[in-house]
Amino acid sequence: MVQDRRNHQPAAGPEPADPRAELLGLLAEPLRLRVVDRLGQAGPATVSQLAGELEVPLPQLSNHLRRLREHGLVTAERRGRQAVYRLADPGLELLLPLLDRITGRLSAAPGPGRARPGPSRTCYRHLAGPLGVALYRGLVARRALDERPDGTLALGAAAAPALAALGVDPGALDPGRRRLAFQCLDATERAPHLAGALGDAVAAALLGRGWVERTPGGREVRLTTRGAAALDRALGLALAPGPGGA
């Protein structure tokens, strides 16, 4: 007798591992994500530089750098007694702004777990906190910046006059291997601020003009009375000066 095999399909084997899940799993560890974010935002760094900026012990950082190196996310180049780390794939520099944009959109939805607003401060070399978020919104509203779906930013139709009012000439910027401008999700404000070479230039200009002052002993900054008036004229921002801001 011939056995009918039409309804006897072989059992399906296990699904192959999804490499995307492995990548996202590596980046789900907070310190590893911060390392990738730091290298993407500010460029190559030694282990001691990363440990100081991220405020983590060297042994803990070294373990995570090893994991990132083993999985091909970072490379290390020996310079004398120091190892200089950099991102191995420029695609990672595009991934972080995209994640920031998606996370910011989801964070803006009503729900529990809202972070309390924090002080204005620097994030790497650009401005963050309430001041950084307000500047970003002002530049977008004035059409100095155009938002892109991937989290990067293009210069808008009114970029030249709006940025000139802040003391920045976008035509004179040479970002080199860095990105010109992109969104960086503010951890306390749950909204984007301006990062990239343009974000660094804006921060340097405002600090240089005395519109923003650093507070002693940390990354916090405050808006001065003169700076509040100037930003109101330049971008229509009604911001209160920080405590002690001259």
Task: State pLDDT tens for residues 70-123.
Answer: 999 999 999 888 899 999 988 888 888 888 888 877 766 555 555 556 799 999
> How much is the pLDDT for 243?
75
Q: Which is more confident, 155 or 41?
A: 155
pTM of the predicted structure, to 2 decimals: 0.79
Residues ≥6 apart with Cβ < 8 Å to 190? 104, 107, 108, 114, 115
- Per-residue pLDDT at 2 exceeds 80: no
Tokens of 202: 């804006």
Q: What domains does the chain contain, in order, with CATH numbers?
A: 25-89 (1.10.10.10), 92-109+118-235 (no CATH)
Residue 5: pLDDT over 70: no
- The distance in angstroms from the start CA to the end CA of the chain is 99
CA 58, 61, 63, 65 dihedral sign is: negative
Both tokens assigned to 176? 């080199």
Q: Record the tokens describing residue 47, joined without a space.
A: 């282990």
Of 219, 171, 223, 222, nearest to 197 by C-alpha is 171
The fraction of the chain above a pLDDT of 70, given in percent, is 87
- What is the bridge-based pairing of β-strands 121-123 and 126-128? antiparallel
Q: What is the pLDDT of residue 100?
A: 86
pLDDT digits (tens, 9 = 90+) for 6-65: 555 555 566 778 888 999 999 999 999 999 999 988 889 999 999 999 999 999 999 999
CB 38 within 8 A of CB 45: yes
Q: How far apart are CA 246 and CA 242, in angstroms?
A: 9
pLDDT of the residue at 148:
92
